[in-house]
Amino acid sequence: MSTTNRKSVATQQPPVKWEQKTAIPLSERPTLTVDEFCRMIGIGRSTFYKAVGAGDLKVRKYGKRTFVTQEEMKRFVDKMPFGRRT
């Protein structure tokens, strides 16, 4: 390997991951992925898909990707029962 190749390799930036490139906060995005929704609500993927299957949660599809709109997330949370006071 020549010296010029080493320099060009050394000055190259490492690839930027997709998460690092998106500067839009989750609260400002119109949709959330399944994983983002589950993390925000505090449920697992199995529970997510049970809610979808039961008709309690409406999703949007784009190809193989599944999304939840911010409005649907709010509606879903508003329909959740309140916990008991102890």
Look up the pTM and report it: 0.68
User: Domain limits at 56?
Assistant: 25-81
Q: What pLDDT score does 54 carry?
A: 97
Model pLDDT for residues 12-47, shown as the tens digit of each residue: 666 656 555 556 888 888 999 999 999 999 999 999
Instruction: Tell me whether residue 40 is in a domain.
Output: yes
Token reading at 80: 């959740």
Instruction: Tell me whether residue 20 is in a domain.
Output: no
Instruction: Tell me whether residue 55 is in a domain.
Output: yes
Mean of per-residue pLDDT scores for the chain: 84
**CB within 8 Å of 44: residues ≥ 6 apart:** 38
Any idea which residue has 């993390």 for tokens?
Answer: 39
Overall number of domains in the chain: 1
Using alpha carbons only, give the angle 26, 69, 74 rounded to the nearest 5 degrees.
85
Q: From start to end of 2-86, where are the E strands?
A: 31-33, 60-62, 65-69
Instruction: Tell me whether residue 14 is in a domain.
Output: no
> Domain of 44: which CATH number?
1.10.1660.10
